[in-house]
Amino acid sequence: MQAFIDQMIKDGAFAGVPREVVYAIAMVVTALVVLSVFVAPLAGVTSWLERRVWARMQSRVGPNRVGPQGILQWLADGIKNIMKEDIIPTAADQKLFPLAPYVVFMGFLCSFVVIPFGANLIVADLNIGILYLLAVTSLVVVGILMAGWASNNKWSLLGGMRSAAQIVSYEIPAGLSVLTVVFLAGTLSMQGIIRAQGWAPWDWFMFHNPFTFCAFFLFFTAALAEGNRTPFDIPEAESELVAGYVTEYSGMRFLFFFFAEWGNLYVIGSVATTLFMGGWQVPPVTDNPVLLGMLQFVTFFLKAYFWVFVAMWVRATLPRVRVDQLMALCWKYMVPLSFICMLGTIGFMFMDENGRRIFGALTLGFAIATIINFFRRVGFQFRAAKPELYWKPHI
């Protein structure tokens, strides 16, 4: 996107207009387009999908009334929440309280600037892409702290404090895991990291060596914790803190927090895909640039959405950890492990090509064996529980 405008300015399309004005207009237009065409429906559909996936895992039906399969449920929810009364408690901080949801939302939305949906489909391929992403997602913690403090509610305050401690701590293992990839790729640019990988699984950084494989899971866990997802959803733990930092919010402001949370899931998935799973890389099947672009977009989207699904699955399965256990997990296990992964990867970079190939193949083999074992266990459980299987897609 940015490259496209640069090219247009060079060709003299906006002759006579100052560059700054062109960029400012382009920024606003891009933000609006990204927000309305992609992010809002994405977060909405993710919320619907999460409720449906949950419902199926819990032998329920889930929302199925609005639109086919209930896929427009998010629109109904959004309209309902816009029409609700916007309550600002009298005891709350009158300035910070309304501001907090937008800070959270901004932190999440800014990350879409550097997410590469295709070889040419990126808002701006910053040369510090991943660093920028880590920085803007940290804005979320400011918003959550604001919400917790400004609500003037003890539950909110506890939730905000928990969240601040959690997000700040988990940024360290997440950042260190990202560093392993940055070492391998030799660049901080998101497109550069993807170009350093290939379309085939054995060219992905995830299966580069055992340490990156480990780093991937460290990153995913830390990202879940940063996104306040189960099993690390202690800031809004509804059985302990009523609703945590969102206790006093209602209507659209409440929705903005959850908008950011569900949208964040996709950000987590796409960053994991970019860093470890080859991003939009597709096999060279066609020369048509439009077709290739669509293929890249679909590939990237599906890979990213797979990890969104995994996050939903984890949320439906696991209980919540306690706040001290959460900190212990981060500082006692994840930080040292991610350091080891980083150092190990640096060690692997000195290895010759053949040795690296062997270890990469071993890692891939281990992953495949794990997946096969998983399906064997699923089969065993099916035979043991003798569930009534049925196919009723209409409900």
Partner 1 sequence: MTDTAPAQGFFTEDMTISVGPQHPSTHGVLRFVVKTDGEVISEAIPDVGYLHRSIEKIGEKVTYHGYVPYTDRADYLAAMFANQAFCMAAEKLAGTEVTRRGEFCRVIACELNRLASHLISVGTFGQDIGAMTPFVHALRERETINNLMEEICGARLTYNYIRIGGVGYDILPETLAKITQFLDHFGPIVEEFNRLLSGNKIFIERLAGVAVVSKEDALSYNLVGPNLRGSGIKWDIRRDIPYSIYPELDFEVPVGTAQVGSLGDSYDRFWVRIREMQESVKILYQCLKMLPKGPAISKVPKKFRPPAGECYARVEAPRGDMGFYVVSDGSEYPYRVRIRTGSYTAMSIIDKLSKGIMVADLIALIGSLDVDAPEIDR
Interface residue with partner 1, options 19, 80, 322, 332 (CB under 8 A): 322
49 binds partner 1, rule: CB under 8 A: no
CB of residue 61 vs partner 1: minimum separation in angstroms?
Answer: 12
261 binds partner 1, rule: CB under 8 A: no
How far is C-alpha 325 from the geometric centre of its chain's CA atoms?
Answer: 23
Candidate ranges 126-134, 157-165, 193-201, 363-371; the one touching partner 1 (CB under 8 A) = 157-165
Give the nearer residue to partner 1 in terms of CB position, either 73 or 230: 230
Interface residue with partner 1, options 286, 325, 368, 373 (CB under 8 A): 325
User: Do residues 235 and 162 make contact, with C-beta atoms less than 8 angstroms apart?
Assistant: yes
| Residue with tokens 């927090």, as numbered in its chain | 257
Give the nearer residue to partner 1 in terms of CB position, either 107 or 235: 235
3-state secondary structure 350-375: CCCHHHHHHHHHHHHHHHHHHHHHHH
CB of residue 114 vs partner 1: minimum separation in angstroms?
Answer: 33
262 binds partner 1, rule: CB under 8 A: no
CB of residue 41 vs partner 1: minimum separation in angstroms?
Answer: 26
Which tokens belong to 36? Answer: 């309305």
Write the burial class of residue 386 (CB in 10 Å: 0-12 exposed, 13-18 middle, 19+ buried): exposed
CA distance 114 to 124: 6
CA distance 288 to 285: 9
Give the nearer residue to partner 1 in terms of CB position, either 194 or 321: 321
375 binds partner 1, rule: CB under 8 A: no
Give the nearer residue to partner 1 in terms of CB position, either 185 or 323: 323
CB of residue 59 vs partner 1: minimum separation in angstroms?
Answer: 6
Interface residue with partner 1, options 230, 274, 281, 345 (CB under 8 A): 230
386 binds partner 1, rule: CB under 8 A: yes
Write the burial class of residue 234 (CB in 10 Å: 0-12 exposed, 13-18 middle, 19+ buried): buried
User: Do residues 290 and 120 make contact, with C-beta atoms less than 8 angstroms apart?
Assistant: no
Residues 6+ apart with CB under 8 A from 291: none
CA distance 27 to 71: 31
CA distance 168 to 184: 25
CA distance 181 to 193: 8
How far is C-alpha 285 from the geometric centre of its chain's CA atoms?
Answer: 29
Interface residue with partner 1, options 72, 124, 161, 172 (CB under 8 A): 161
Is 287 in a helix, a strand, or coil? coil
26 binds partner 1, rule: CB under 8 A: no
57 binds partner 1, rule: CB under 8 A: yes
Candidate ranges 50-58, 73-81, 87-95, 277-285; the one touching partner 1 (CB under 8 A) = 50-58
Please provide the DSSP assignment of 138-178 as one string: THHHHHHHHHHHHTT-HHHHHHHHHHHHHHHHHHHHHHHHH
Residues 6+ apart with CB under 8 A from 90: none
Give the nearer residue to partner 1 in terms of CB position, either 229 or 253: 229
Interface residue with partner 1, options 29, 32, 33, 60 (CB under 8 A): 60
Number of C-beta neighbours around residue 255 at 10 A: 23
Interface residue with partner 1, options 234, 246, 277, 304 (CB under 8 A): 234
330 binds partner 1, rule: CB under 8 A: no
How far is C-alpha 184 from the geometric centre of its chain's CA atoms?
Answer: 22
CB of residue 48 vs partner 1: minimum separation in angstroms?
Answer: 17
Candidate ranges 7-15, 41-49, 312-320, 367-375; the one touching partner 1 (CB under 8 A) = 312-320
Give the nearer residue to partner 1 in terms of CB position, either 126 or 224: 224
Candidate ranges 212-220, 288-296, 309-317, 366-374; the one touching partner 1 (CB under 8 A) = 309-317
Candidate ranges 295-303, 317-325, 339-347, 357-365; the one touching partner 1 (CB under 8 A) = 317-325
Interface residue with partner 1, options 24, 238, 306, 374 (CB under 8 A): 238
Which residues in this chain contact partner 1 in the complex, by CB under 8 A? Answer: 54, 57-60, 154-155, 158, 161-162, 230-231, 233-234, 237-242, 315-325, 381, 384-386
